[in-house]
Structure 1
Protein backbone atom coordinates (compact mmCIF):
# COMPACT_ATOMS: atom_id res chain seq x y z
CA UNK A 1 0.00 0.00 0.00
CA UNK A 2 1.24 3.49 -0.82
CA UNK A 3 0.72 6.00 1.98
CA UNK A 4 -0.27 9.41 0.63
CA UNK A 5 0.86 12.51 2.55
CA UNK A 6 -1.28 15.60 2.03
CA UNK A 7 -1.93 18.95 3.69
CA UNK A 8 -5.54 19.01 2.42
CA UNK A 9 -8.19 18.01 5.01
CA UNK A 10 -10.71 17.46 2.21
CA UNK A 11 -8.38 15.13 0.30
CA UNK A 12 -7.57 13.16 3.46
CA UNK A 13 -11.27 12.84 4.29
CA UNK A 14 -11.86 11.43 0.81
CA UNK A 15 -9.67 8.43 1.63
CA UNK A 16 -11.54 7.87 4.90
CA UNK A 17 -14.95 8.23 3.25
CA UNK A 18 -13.91 5.56 0.75
CA UNK A 19 -13.24 3.08 3.57
CA UNK A 20 -9.57 3.87 4.16
CA UNK A 21 -7.66 4.72 7.33
CA UNK A 22 -6.11 8.16 7.74
CA UNK A 23 -3.72 9.68 10.28
CA UNK A 24 -4.59 13.25 11.26
CA UNK A 25 -3.23 15.88 13.66
CA UNK A 26 -4.96 16.96 16.85
CA UNK A 27 -3.90 19.19 19.73
CA UNK A 28 -3.05 16.11 21.85
CA UNK A 29 -1.31 13.60 19.53
CA UNK A 30 -1.84 12.40 15.96
CA UNK A 31 -4.79 10.03 15.56
CA UNK A 32 -5.33 7.12 13.17
CA UNK A 33 -8.92 7.31 12.01
CA UNK A 34 -11.61 5.26 10.29
CA UNK A 35 -15.23 6.19 9.78
CA UNK A 36 -17.50 4.36 12.23
CA UNK A 37 -19.85 3.73 9.30
CA UNK A 38 -17.09 1.48 7.87
CA UNK A 39 -16.60 -1.37 10.40
CA UNK A 40 -14.12 -3.13 8.09
CA UNK A 41 -12.00 0.02 8.02
CA UNK A 42 -12.09 0.11 11.83
CA UNK A 43 -10.60 -3.40 11.82
CA UNK A 44 -7.77 -2.10 9.61
CA UNK A 45 -6.71 0.26 12.42
CA UNK A 46 -6.09 -2.69 14.75
CA UNK A 47 -4.09 -4.53 12.09
CA UNK A 48 -1.98 -1.50 11.13
CA UNK A 49 -1.07 -0.72 14.75
CA UNK A 50 -0.82 -4.29 16.01
CA UNK A 51 -3.41 -3.24 18.59
CA UNK A 52 -5.24 -5.79 20.78
CA UNK A 53 -8.85 -6.21 19.63
CA UNK A 54 -10.23 -5.69 23.16
CA UNK A 55 -8.72 -2.19 23.45
CA UNK A 56 -11.57 0.22 22.55
CA UNK A 57 -11.21 3.29 20.33
CA UNK A 58 -12.23 6.90 20.92
CA UNK A 59 -14.81 8.42 18.58
CA UNK A 60 -14.00 11.94 17.33
CA UNK A 61 -16.72 14.43 16.39
CA UNK A 62 -16.35 17.83 14.67
CA UNK A 63 -18.83 19.76 16.88
CA UNK A 64 -19.96 19.35 20.51
CA UNK A 65 -23.61 19.04 19.48
CA UNK A 66 -22.77 15.95 17.42
CA UNK A 67 -22.37 13.97 20.62
CA UNK A 68 -26.06 13.10 20.61
CA UNK A 69 -25.55 11.05 17.44
CA UNK A 70 -23.03 8.69 19.07
CA UNK A 71 -24.11 8.67 22.73
CA UNK A 72 -27.26 8.20 24.80
CA UNK A 73 -28.18 8.74 28.45
CA UNK A 74 -26.05 11.87 28.67
CA UNK A 75 -26.46 13.06 32.25
CA UNK A 76 -26.13 16.55 33.69
CA UNK A 77 -22.52 16.05 34.82
CA UNK A 78 -21.52 15.05 31.30
CA UNK A 79 -23.44 18.00 29.84
CA UNK A 80 -21.55 20.39 32.14
CA UNK A 81 -18.21 18.93 31.10
CA UNK A 82 -19.18 19.19 27.44
CA UNK A 83 -20.13 22.85 27.83
CA UNK A 84 -16.87 23.72 29.58
CA UNK A 85 -14.28 21.52 27.83
CA UNK A 86 -15.56 20.68 24.32
CA UNK A 87 -13.85 21.24 21.96
CA UNK A 88 -10.63 20.32 23.75
CA UNK A 89 -8.39 17.56 25.14
CA UNK A 90 -11.13 15.74 27.09
CA UNK A 91 -12.75 12.38 26.31
CA UNK A 92 -16.01 11.34 27.95
CA UNK A 93 -17.07 7.70 28.29
CA UNK A 94 -20.82 7.44 27.74
CA UNK A 95 -23.42 4.85 26.76
CA UNK A 96 -23.09 4.40 23.00
CA UNK A 97 -25.84 4.95 20.48
CA UNK A 98 -26.83 2.39 17.86
CA UNK A 99 -24.68 4.27 15.33
CA UNK A 100 -21.47 3.01 16.97
CA UNK A 101 -20.54 -0.54 15.88
CA UNK A 102 -19.04 -3.10 18.30
CA UNK A 103 -15.74 -3.02 16.37
CA UNK A 104 -15.13 0.44 17.85
CA UNK A 105 -15.96 -0.40 21.48
CA UNK A 106 -14.52 -3.93 21.87
CA UNK A 107 -18.11 -5.09 22.31
CA UNK A 108 -18.80 -2.76 25.24
CA UNK A 109 -22.03 -0.77 25.57
CA UNK A 110 -19.98 2.37 26.24
CA UNK A 111 -17.82 4.58 24.04
CA UNK A 112 -15.21 7.30 24.56
CA UNK A 113 -16.05 10.51 22.69
CA UNK A 114 -13.90 13.55 22.00
CA UNK A 115 -14.26 16.83 20.10
CA UNK A 116 -10.77 18.13 19.22
CA UNK A 117 -9.97 21.85 19.34
CA UNK A 118 -7.30 21.65 16.62
CA UNK A 119 -8.40 23.73 13.62
CA UNK A 120 -7.07 21.22 11.08
CA UNK A 121 -8.65 18.29 12.95
CA UNK A 122 -12.03 20.03 13.02
CA UNK A 123 -11.76 20.79 9.30
CA UNK A 124 -10.88 17.16 8.52
CA UNK A 125 -13.69 15.78 10.69
CA UNK A 126 -16.13 18.19 9.06
CA UNK A 127 -15.38 16.67 5.63
CA UNK A 128 -15.86 13.11 6.94
CA UNK A 129 -19.27 11.56 6.29
CA UNK A 130 -19.55 10.06 9.78
CA UNK A 131 -17.81 10.30 13.17
CA UNK A 132 -14.24 8.99 13.23
CA UNK A 133 -12.88 6.27 15.52
CA UNK A 134 -9.21 6.92 16.21
CA UNK A 135 -6.49 5.77 18.60
CA UNK A 136 -3.03 7.34 18.51
CA UNK A 137 -1.23 6.95 15.17
CA UNK A 138 1.69 4.73 16.19
CA UNK A 139 2.69 1.11 16.57
CA UNK A 140 0.83 -0.22 19.60
CA UNK A 141 2.81 0.11 22.84
CA UNK A 142 5.32 2.60 21.43
CA UNK A 143 5.45 6.37 22.05
CA UNK A 144 2.51 8.22 20.53
CA UNK A 145 3.18 10.25 17.40
CA UNK A 146 3.23 14.00 17.83
CA UNK A 147 4.34 14.81 14.26
CA UNK A 148 3.42 13.56 10.80
CA UNK A 149 7.00 12.37 10.29
CA UNK A 150 6.69 10.09 13.33
CA UNK A 151 3.47 8.66 11.88
CA UNK A 152 5.20 8.03 8.55
CA UNK A 153 8.10 6.27 10.29
CA UNK A 154 5.76 3.88 12.13
CA UNK A 155 2.99 3.33 9.61
CA UNK A 156 4.24 4.00 6.07
CA UNK A 157 2.79 1.38 3.74
CA UNK A 158 0.22 0.30 6.36
CA UNK A 159 -2.28 3.18 6.09
CA UNK A 160 -3.89 5.05 3.21
CA UNK A 161 -3.12 8.66 4.02
CA UNK A 162 -1.46 11.07 6.46
CA UNK A 163 -2.89 14.56 6.88
CA UNK A 164 0.17 16.70 7.45
CA UNK A 165 -0.05 19.36 10.13
CA UNK A 166 2.08 21.05 12.77
CA UNK A 167 3.48 19.11 15.74
CA UNK A 168 0.90 18.55 18.48
CA UNK A 169 0.49 21.46 20.91
CA UNK A 170 0.00 19.32 24.04
CA UNK A 171 1.91 16.14 23.25
CA UNK A 172 -0.03 13.80 25.59
CA UNK A 173 -3.27 11.94 25.02
CA UNK A 174 -6.59 13.35 26.22
CA UNK A 175 -7.94 13.23 29.76
CA UNK A 176 -10.67 10.56 30.05
CA UNK A 177 -13.69 10.73 32.38
CA UNK A 178 -16.21 7.90 32.71
CA UNK A 179 -19.70 9.37 33.01
CA UNK A 180 -21.68 6.11 32.87
CA UNK A 181 -21.96 5.43 36.61
CA UNK A 182 -23.50 7.12 39.62
CA UNK A 183 -20.26 9.11 40.11
CA UNK A 184 -18.11 10.43 37.24
CA UNK A 185 -14.61 8.94 37.44
CA UNK A 186 -11.26 10.08 36.06
CA UNK A 187 -9.79 7.16 34.08
CA UNK A 188 -6.74 8.82 32.49
CA UNK A 189 -4.93 12.04 33.30
CA UNK A 190 -4.17 14.61 30.63
CA UNK A 191 -4.06 18.34 29.93
CA UNK A 192 -7.47 18.87 31.55
CA UNK A 193 -6.57 18.36 35.21
CA UNK A 194 -8.62 16.86 38.02
CA UNK A 195 -8.71 20.29 39.64
CA UNK A 196 -10.22 21.82 36.50
CA UNK A 197 -12.73 19.00 36.19
CA UNK A 198 -13.80 19.28 39.82
CA UNK A 199 -14.25 23.03 39.48
CA UNK A 200 -17.10 22.19 37.08
CA UNK A 201 -18.30 18.86 38.52
CA UNK A 202 -17.08 18.64 42.16
CA UNK A 203 -18.16 15.01 42.61
CA UNK A 204 -15.69 13.63 40.05
CA UNK A 205 -13.56 10.93 41.64
CA UNK A 206 -10.55 8.86 40.60
CA UNK A 207 -11.14 5.34 39.34
CA UNK A 208 -9.41 2.26 40.69
CA UNK A 209 -8.40 0.47 37.50
CA UNK A 210 -9.04 -3.28 37.43
CA UNK A 211 -6.20 -5.53 36.30
CA UNK A 212 -8.60 -8.33 35.29
CA UNK A 213 -7.20 -9.62 31.99
CA UNK A 214 -10.63 -10.99 31.00
CA UNK A 215 -12.32 -7.61 31.33
CA UNK A 216 -12.12 -5.17 28.39
CA UNK A 217 -11.00 -1.71 29.55
CA UNK A 218 -13.53 1.11 29.31
CA UNK A 219 -11.04 3.34 27.56
CA UNK A 220 -7.61 3.22 25.90
CA UNK A 221 -4.45 3.38 27.99
CA UNK A 222 -5.70 1.34 30.94
CA UNK A 223 -4.77 -2.30 30.32
CA UNK A 224 -1.80 -2.74 28.00
CA UNK A 225 1.78 -1.38 28.10
CA UNK A 226 2.02 2.03 26.46
CA UNK A 227 4.40 4.79 25.44
CA UNK A 228 7.63 2.76 25.71
CA UNK A 229 10.67 3.52 23.54
CA UNK A 230 13.23 0.83 22.71
CA UNK A 231 15.56 2.39 25.28
CA UNK A 232 15.11 1.54 28.95
CA UNK A 233 13.39 4.16 31.10
CA UNK A 234 14.79 5.09 34.50
CA UNK A 235 12.61 7.34 36.69
CA UNK A 236 14.49 9.89 38.78
CA UNK A 237 14.04 12.51 41.45
CA UNK A 238 15.34 16.05 40.90
CA UNK A 239 18.85 16.03 39.47
CA UNK A 240 18.91 12.32 38.76
CA UNK A 241 21.78 9.93 39.49
CA UNK A 242 25.30 11.00 40.44
CA UNK A 243 26.33 9.08 37.30
CA UNK A 244 24.38 7.01 34.78
CA UNK A 245 24.87 3.27 34.51
CA UNK A 246 28.31 2.28 33.30
CA UNK A 247 28.81 1.06 29.73
CA UNK A 248 25.57 2.53 28.45
CA UNK A 249 24.71 5.41 26.16
CA UNK A 250 22.36 7.54 28.24
CA UNK A 251 20.06 10.54 27.86
CA UNK A 252 18.34 12.85 30.32
CA UNK A 253 15.06 14.75 30.20
CA UNK A 254 13.57 16.78 33.02
CA UNK A 255 12.94 20.22 34.51
CA UNK A 256 16.44 20.56 35.99
CA UNK A 257 19.99 19.90 34.86
CA UNK A 258 21.20 16.46 35.95
CA UNK A 259 24.01 16.12 38.48
CA UNK A 260 26.15 14.32 35.90
CA UNK A 261 25.48 16.43 32.82
CA UNK A 262 28.75 15.55 31.12
CA UNK A 263 28.05 11.82 31.38
CA UNK A 264 24.91 11.96 29.22
CA UNK A 265 24.95 11.82 25.43
CA UNK A 266 21.84 14.06 25.33
CA UNK A 267 20.50 16.42 27.98
CA UNK A 268 17.12 18.10 27.53
CA UNK A 269 16.11 20.54 30.26
CA UNK A 270 12.51 21.71 29.88
CA UNK A 271 11.50 25.18 30.99
CA UNK A 272 7.96 24.19 32.02
CA UNK A 273 5.86 21.07 32.54
CA UNK A 274 3.95 22.08 29.41
CA UNK A 275 7.16 21.90 27.38
CA UNK A 276 8.04 18.59 29.04
CA UNK A 277 4.68 17.12 27.98
CA UNK A 278 4.91 18.53 24.45
CA UNK A 279 8.33 17.08 23.63
CA UNK A 280 8.39 13.87 25.70
CA UNK A 281 7.34 11.33 23.07
CA UNK A 282 9.37 13.03 20.35
CA UNK A 283 12.41 12.90 22.67
CA UNK A 284 11.88 9.17 23.18
CA UNK A 285 11.87 8.72 19.41
CA UNK A 286 15.01 10.84 18.97
CA UNK A 287 16.82 8.73 21.55
CA UNK A 288 15.84 5.51 19.78
CA UNK A 289 17.04 6.90 16.45
CA UNK A 290 20.43 7.66 18.05
CA UNK A 291 20.74 4.23 19.65
CA UNK A 292 20.48 5.47 23.24
CA UNK A 293 20.36 2.57 25.72
CA UNK A 294 18.84 4.28 28.76
CA UNK A 295 16.72 7.42 29.18
CA UNK A 296 16.72 9.00 32.64
CA UNK A 297 13.45 10.88 33.18
CA UNK A 298 12.97 13.32 36.02
CA UNK A 299 9.55 12.98 37.64
CA UNK A 300 7.82 16.41 37.60
CA UNK A 301 5.68 17.68 40.50
CA UNK A 302 2.51 15.63 41.01
CA UNK A 303 0.19 18.46 40.04
CA UNK A 304 -1.40 19.91 36.91
CA UNK A 305 -0.14 18.32 33.70
CA UNK A 306 2.79 17.01 35.76
CA UNK A 307 0.44 14.21 36.89
CA UNK A 308 -0.15 13.20 33.28
CA UNK A 309 3.60 13.22 32.55
CA UNK A 310 4.24 11.03 35.61
CA UNK A 311 1.53 8.62 34.44
CA UNK A 312 3.07 8.29 30.96
CA UNK A 313 6.59 7.89 32.36
CA UNK A 314 5.48 5.21 34.81
CA UNK A 315 3.70 3.28 32.07
CA UNK A 316 6.64 3.65 29.69
CA UNK A 317 9.00 2.31 32.35
CA UNK A 318 6.68 -0.64 33.00
CA UNK A 319 6.59 -1.38 29.27
CA UNK A 320 10.33 -2.06 29.32
Structure 2
Protein backbone atom coordinates (compact mmCIF):
# COMPACT_ATOMS: atom_id res chain seq x y z
CA UNK A 1 0.00 0.00 0.00
CA UNK A 2 1.28 3.48 -0.82
CA UNK A 3 1.36 6.46 1.52
CA UNK A 4 -1.68 8.20 -0.01
CA UNK A 5 -3.86 5.11 0.44
CA UNK A 6 -2.62 4.60 4.00
CA UNK A 7 -3.35 8.24 4.82
CA UNK A 8 -6.88 7.87 3.48
CA UNK A 9 -7.32 4.79 5.67
CA UNK A 10 -6.29 6.78 8.74
CA UNK A 11 -8.71 9.60 7.97
CA UNK A 12 -11.49 7.02 7.54
CA UNK A 13 -10.86 5.43 10.95
CA UNK A 14 -8.60 2.58 9.90
CA UNK A 15 -5.46 1.31 11.62
CA UNK A 16 -2.11 1.70 9.87
CA UNK A 17 1.20 0.39 11.22
CA UNK A 18 4.16 2.52 10.18
CA UNK A 19 7.87 2.83 10.96
CA UNK A 20 9.43 5.48 13.14
CA UNK A 21 13.08 5.84 14.07
CA UNK A 22 12.33 4.16 17.43
CA UNK A 23 9.85 1.31 16.83
CA UNK A 24 6.89 0.65 14.54
CA UNK A 25 3.68 2.39 15.62
CA UNK A 26 0.05 1.29 15.34
CA UNK A 27 -1.59 4.45 14.08
CA UNK A 28 -5.15 5.72 14.36
CA UNK A 29 -6.75 9.15 13.91
CA UNK A 30 -6.16 10.60 17.38
CA UNK A 31 -9.43 12.57 17.40
CA UNK A 32 -11.57 9.61 16.25
CA UNK A 33 -12.68 7.89 19.44
CA UNK A 34 -13.86 4.73 17.70
CA UNK A 35 -10.54 4.30 15.88
CA UNK A 36 -8.54 4.86 19.07
CA UNK A 37 -10.66 2.35 20.99
CA UNK A 38 -9.85 -0.18 18.28
CA UNK A 39 -6.11 0.38 18.93
CA UNK A 40 -6.61 -0.54 22.58
CA UNK A 41 -8.65 -3.61 21.61
CA UNK A 42 -6.16 -4.86 19.01
CA UNK A 43 -3.20 -4.44 21.33
CA UNK A 44 -4.95 -5.64 24.50
CA UNK A 45 -3.67 -2.41 26.02
CA UNK A 46 -4.83 -1.28 29.48
CA UNK A 47 -7.27 1.64 29.16
CA UNK A 48 -5.38 3.79 31.67
CA UNK A 49 -2.20 3.73 29.56
CA UNK A 50 -2.33 6.91 27.41
CA UNK A 51 -1.15 6.98 23.81
CA UNK A 52 1.54 9.07 22.16
CA UNK A 53 0.19 11.29 19.40
CA UNK A 54 2.38 11.85 16.34
CA UNK A 55 2.29 15.03 14.28
CA UNK A 56 4.33 16.24 11.32
CA UNK A 57 5.76 19.42 12.89
CA UNK A 58 5.83 21.60 15.98
CA UNK A 59 3.29 23.87 14.29
CA UNK A 60 0.73 21.04 14.39
CA UNK A 61 0.97 20.36 18.13
CA UNK A 62 -1.89 22.79 18.69
CA UNK A 63 -4.30 20.22 17.23
CA UNK A 64 -4.04 18.24 20.47
CA UNK A 65 -2.22 20.44 23.03
CA UNK A 66 -3.71 23.51 24.71
CA UNK A 67 -0.32 25.20 25.11
CA UNK A 68 3.42 24.71 24.63
CA UNK A 69 5.41 26.28 27.49
CA UNK A 70 8.74 27.93 26.71
CA UNK A 71 10.80 25.03 28.10
CA UNK A 72 8.80 22.52 26.07
CA UNK A 73 9.25 24.63 22.95
CA UNK A 74 13.02 24.69 23.44
CA UNK A 75 13.08 20.90 23.78
CA UNK A 76 10.94 20.48 20.67
CA UNK A 77 13.10 22.86 18.64
CA UNK A 78 16.21 20.94 19.69
CA UNK A 79 15.01 17.34 19.34
CA UNK A 80 12.18 17.29 16.79
CA UNK A 81 11.92 15.48 14.52
CA UNK A 82 13.32 12.86 16.86
CA UNK A 83 12.82 10.38 19.71
CA UNK A 84 11.49 12.79 22.36
CA UNK A 85 7.88 12.80 23.55
CA UNK A 86 6.51 15.82 25.39
CA UNK A 87 3.59 15.62 27.80
CA UNK A 88 1.54 18.82 27.53
CA UNK A 89 -1.86 20.10 28.63
CA UNK A 90 -4.47 18.55 26.35
CA UNK A 91 -7.15 20.33 24.37
CA UNK A 92 -10.55 19.33 25.71
CA UNK A 93 -11.72 18.00 22.34
CA UNK A 94 -9.08 15.23 22.40
CA UNK A 95 -11.02 12.07 23.30
CA UNK A 96 -10.51 10.84 26.86
CA UNK A 97 -9.53 7.41 25.53
CA UNK A 98 -6.57 8.95 23.67
CA UNK A 99 -5.48 10.72 26.85
CA UNK A 100 -5.92 7.66 29.09
CA UNK A 101 -8.50 9.69 31.03
CA UNK A 102 -5.97 12.38 31.94
CA UNK A 103 -5.92 16.12 31.27
CA UNK A 104 -2.59 15.82 29.47
CA UNK A 105 -1.49 14.57 26.06
CA UNK A 106 1.80 13.00 24.95
CA UNK A 107 3.02 14.20 21.55
CA UNK A 108 6.08 13.96 19.32
CA UNK A 109 7.35 14.48 15.77
CA UNK A 110 9.03 11.26 14.52
CA UNK A 111 12.26 11.35 12.53
CA UNK A 112 11.49 8.64 9.98
CA UNK A 113 10.86 9.97 6.44
CA UNK A 114 8.06 7.48 5.77
CA UNK A 115 6.31 8.40 9.01
CA UNK A 116 6.55 12.10 8.17
CA UNK A 117 5.22 11.48 4.65
CA UNK A 118 2.26 9.61 6.14
CA UNK A 119 1.52 12.31 8.71
CA UNK A 120 1.65 15.07 6.11
CA UNK A 121 -0.59 13.14 3.74
CA UNK A 122 -3.11 12.22 6.46
CA UNK A 123 -3.20 15.81 7.78
CA UNK A 124 -4.56 14.58 11.13
CA UNK A 125 -2.85 13.86 14.45
CA UNK A 126 -2.10 10.13 14.71
CA UNK A 127 -2.15 8.23 18.01
CA UNK A 128 0.40 5.44 17.70
CA UNK A 129 1.62 3.14 20.46
CA UNK A 130 4.00 0.36 19.47
CA UNK A 131 2.47 -1.99 16.88
CA UNK A 132 2.55 -5.17 18.96
CA UNK A 133 0.39 -7.01 21.46
CA UNK A 134 0.76 -5.38 24.86
CA UNK A 135 3.52 -6.90 26.94
CA UNK A 136 5.45 -8.22 23.92
CA UNK A 137 8.83 -6.94 22.70
CA UNK A 138 8.27 -3.84 20.61
CA UNK A 139 8.40 -4.29 16.81
CA UNK A 140 11.38 -2.92 14.92
CA UNK A 141 10.54 -4.44 11.52
CA UNK A 142 7.36 -4.78 9.50
CA UNK A 143 7.65 -8.56 9.90
CA UNK A 144 7.40 -8.19 13.69
CA UNK A 145 4.17 -6.21 13.23
CA UNK A 146 2.64 -8.83 10.97
CA UNK A 147 3.69 -11.64 13.32
CA UNK A 148 1.98 -9.97 16.29
CA UNK A 149 -1.06 -8.31 14.73
CA UNK A 150 -1.78 -10.21 11.51
CA UNK A 151 -5.05 -9.14 9.92
CA UNK A 152 -6.07 -7.01 12.92
CA UNK A 153 -4.24 -4.07 11.32
CA UNK A 154 -5.60 -2.65 8.07
CA UNK A 155 -2.24 -1.80 6.50
CA UNK A 156 1.48 -2.02 7.26
CA UNK A 157 3.95 0.41 5.73
CA UNK A 158 7.37 -1.23 5.49
CA UNK A 159 10.22 1.20 6.10
CA UNK A 160 12.87 -1.37 6.95
CA UNK A 161 14.45 -1.90 10.38
CA UNK A 162 14.16 0.96 12.87
CA UNK A 163 17.33 3.00 13.26
CA UNK A 164 17.18 3.63 17.03
CA UNK A 165 15.32 0.54 18.23
CA UNK A 166 14.10 1.66 21.67
CA UNK A 167 11.21 3.94 22.43
CA UNK A 168 11.31 7.72 22.79
CA UNK A 169 12.19 9.52 25.99
CA UNK A 170 8.99 10.82 27.59
CA UNK A 171 9.16 14.16 29.41
CA UNK A 172 6.39 15.96 31.28
CA UNK A 173 7.05 19.49 30.01
CA UNK A 174 4.02 21.27 31.45
CA UNK A 175 5.91 22.95 34.28
CA UNK A 176 9.11 24.92 34.68
CA UNK A 177 11.05 21.75 35.56
CA UNK A 178 11.07 18.90 32.99
CA UNK A 179 10.20 15.53 34.50
CA UNK A 180 11.49 12.42 32.72
CA UNK A 181 8.71 9.83 32.85
CA UNK A 182 10.42 7.20 30.69
CA UNK A 183 14.05 6.71 29.76
CA UNK A 184 14.52 6.51 26.02
CA UNK A 185 16.68 7.35 23.06
CA UNK A 186 17.38 10.93 24.20
CA UNK A 187 19.57 10.80 27.33
CA UNK A 188 17.84 12.38 30.32
CA UNK A 189 20.95 14.23 31.40
CA UNK A 190 20.90 16.29 28.19
CA UNK A 191 17.45 17.70 28.71
CA UNK A 192 17.98 20.15 31.55
CA UNK A 193 20.50 22.29 29.70
CA UNK A 194 18.10 22.64 26.77
CA UNK A 195 14.93 23.23 28.81
CA UNK A 196 16.63 25.70 31.13
CA UNK A 197 16.12 23.67 34.31
CA UNK A 198 17.64 20.39 35.50
CA UNK A 199 15.41 17.44 34.68
CA UNK A 200 13.85 15.35 37.44
CA UNK A 201 12.85 11.69 37.28
CA UNK A 202 9.25 10.56 37.55
CA UNK A 203 7.20 7.56 36.44
CA UNK A 204 5.08 7.08 33.35
CA UNK A 205 1.55 5.72 33.91
CA UNK A 206 2.44 2.82 31.63
CA UNK A 207 5.47 1.62 33.57
CA UNK A 208 3.44 -0.47 36.01
CA UNK A 209 2.18 -2.67 33.18
CA UNK A 210 4.00 -5.67 31.69
CA UNK A 211 6.32 -4.71 28.83
CA UNK A 212 8.95 -5.98 26.42
CA UNK A 213 8.86 -9.65 27.46
CA UNK A 214 9.32 -12.53 25.00
CA UNK A 215 7.77 -15.93 25.67
CA UNK A 216 11.02 -17.14 27.20
CA UNK A 217 12.64 -16.02 30.45
CA UNK A 218 15.07 -13.08 30.28
CA UNK A 219 18.15 -13.01 32.53
CA UNK A 220 20.44 -9.98 32.70
CA UNK A 221 24.07 -10.87 33.38
CA UNK A 222 26.79 -8.47 34.44
CA UNK A 223 29.29 -7.47 31.76
CA UNK A 224 31.73 -10.32 31.15
CA UNK A 225 29.63 -12.89 33.03
CA UNK A 226 27.20 -13.97 30.31
CA UNK A 227 29.09 -17.15 29.49
CA UNK A 228 29.25 -18.25 33.11
CA UNK A 229 25.57 -17.50 33.76
CA UNK A 230 24.39 -19.19 30.57
CA UNK A 231 26.57 -22.27 31.20
CA UNK A 232 25.09 -22.65 34.69
CA UNK A 233 21.55 -22.44 33.32
CA UNK A 234 22.36 -24.94 30.59
CA UNK A 235 23.83 -27.23 33.24
CA UNK A 236 20.45 -27.18 34.98
CA UNK A 237 18.87 -28.57 31.83
CA UNK A 238 17.54 -25.33 30.33
CA UNK A 239 17.72 -24.49 26.63
CA UNK A 240 19.70 -21.23 26.68
CA UNK A 241 20.54 -18.44 24.25
CA UNK A 242 23.16 -15.77 24.90
CA UNK A 243 23.69 -12.19 23.75
CA UNK A 244 27.29 -11.36 24.62
CA UNK A 245 30.37 -9.71 23.06
CA UNK A 246 32.23 -12.98 23.55
CA UNK A 247 31.40 -16.48 22.40
CA UNK A 248 29.01 -18.92 24.01
CA UNK A 249 29.87 -22.05 26.00
CA UNK A 250 29.05 -25.49 24.68
CA UNK A 251 25.33 -26.18 24.63
CA UNK A 252 24.36 -22.49 24.51
CA UNK A 253 23.05 -20.72 21.39
CA UNK A 254 25.06 -17.55 20.71
CA UNK A 255 22.49 -15.13 19.27
CA UNK A 256 24.76 -12.13 18.74
CA UNK A 257 28.02 -10.50 19.73
CA UNK A 258 26.90 -7.03 20.88
CA UNK A 259 28.95 -4.69 23.05
CA UNK A 260 27.94 -1.10 22.28
CA UNK A 261 24.75 0.32 23.87
CA UNK A 262 23.53 1.86 20.60
CA UNK A 263 24.00 -1.45 18.76
CA UNK A 264 22.10 -3.37 21.44
CA UNK A 265 19.35 -0.71 21.37
CA UNK A 266 18.87 -1.21 17.62
CA UNK A 267 18.82 -5.00 17.92
CA UNK A 268 17.38 -5.69 21.37
CA UNK A 269 13.77 -6.43 20.52
CA UNK A 270 14.69 -8.41 17.41
CA UNK A 271 17.08 -10.51 19.50
CA UNK A 272 14.42 -11.19 22.14
CA UNK A 273 12.08 -12.33 19.38
CA UNK A 274 14.85 -14.45 17.84
CA UNK A 275 15.32 -16.17 21.19
CA UNK A 276 11.69 -17.20 21.38
CA UNK A 277 11.75 -18.29 17.73
CA UNK A 278 14.66 -20.57 18.66
CA UNK A 279 12.41 -22.15 21.32
CA UNK A 280 14.85 -21.60 24.17
CA UNK A 281 13.77 -21.49 27.79
CA UNK A 282 16.06 -18.62 28.78
CA UNK A 283 17.86 -15.82 26.99
CA UNK A 284 20.82 -14.30 28.83
CA UNK A 285 21.80 -10.76 27.84
CA UNK A 286 24.98 -9.12 29.09
CA UNK A 287 24.60 -5.64 30.54
CA UNK A 288 25.94 -2.60 28.71
CA UNK A 289 27.19 0.65 30.30
CA UNK A 290 24.34 2.85 31.49
CA UNK A 291 25.47 5.86 29.52
CA UNK A 292 23.45 7.63 26.83
CA UNK A 293 20.98 5.21 25.24
CA UNK A 294 22.43 2.47 27.47
CA UNK A 295 20.17 3.72 30.28
CA UNK A 296 17.10 3.01 28.16
CA UNK A 297 18.45 -0.38 27.06
CA UNK A 298 19.04 -1.49 30.64
CA UNK A 299 15.61 -0.19 31.68
CA UNK A 300 13.97 -2.35 28.98
CA UNK A 301 16.07 -5.40 29.87
CA UNK A 302 15.27 -5.18 33.58
CA UNK A 303 11.57 -4.80 32.89
CA UNK A 304 11.61 -7.75 30.48
CA UNK A 305 13.40 -9.82 33.11
CA UNK A 306 10.95 -8.78 35.83
CA UNK A 307 7.99 -9.69 33.59
CA UNK A 308 9.07 -13.31 33.31
CA UNK A 309 8.66 -15.58 30.32
Q: Give the TM-score range, shorter chain.
A: over 0.9
Which residue in 2 is equivalent to 1:270? 258
Deviation at 1:241, TM superposition (A): 4.7
Aligned pairs for 1:59-98 within 5 A: 59-98=53-92
**Secondary structure in 2 matching 1:104:** helix
Q: Determine if the alignment matches structure 1 residue 308 to structure 2 residue 296.
A: yes
Runs of 4+ in 1 over 4 A off after TM superposition: none
Q: Deviations over 1:126-172 (max 9, x none)?
A: 11141000100000000000000100000012111111111100110
Counterpart Cα distance in 1 of 2:65 and 2:18: 23
**Secondary structure in 1 matching 2:250:** helix
User: 97, 101, 104: which is aligned to 1:103?
Assistant: 97
Structure 1 stretch 96-105 or stretch 279-288: which is displaced more?
96-105
Q: Are 1:233 and 1:294, in contact at CA under 8 Å, matched by a contact in 2?
A: yes
Which residue in 2 is equivalent to 1:123? 117
Counterpart Cα distance in 2 of 1:73 and 1:298: 43
Counterpart Cα distance in 1 of 2:269 and 2:232: 21
CA RMSD of the aligned region, Å? 1.5
Q: Are 1:252 and 1:264, in contact at CA under 8 Å, matched by a contact in 2?
A: yes
Q: Determine if the alignment matches structure 1 residue 163 to structure 2 residue 148.
A: no
Deviation at 1:191, TM superposition (A): 1.3
User: 164, 172, 177: which is aligned to 1:178?
Assistant: 172
Which residue in 1 is equivalent to 2:139? 145
Q: Are 1:244 and 1:263, in contact at CA under 8 Å, matched by a contact in 2?
A: no
TM-score, length-normalised on structure 1?
0.91
Q: Are 2:255 and 2:275, in contact at CA under 8 Å, matched by a contact in 1?
A: no
Q: Are 1:147 and 1:166, in contact at CA under 8 Å, matched by a contact in 2?
A: yes
Which residue in 2 is equivalent to 1:317? 305
- Judging by fraction of residues, say which structure has more helix: 2
Counterpart Cα distance in 1 of 2:21 and 2:278: 27
User: 187, 211, 222: which is aligned to 1:237?
Assistant: 222
Q: Determine if the alignment matches structure 1 residue 198 to structure 2 residue 196.
A: no
Deviation at 1:104, TM superposition (A): 0.2
TM-score, length-normalised on structure 2?
0.94
Which residue in 2 is equivalent to 1:257? 246
Aligned length: 303
**Secondary structure in 2 matching 1:94:** strand
Counterpart Cα distance in 2 of 1:319 and 1:204: 32
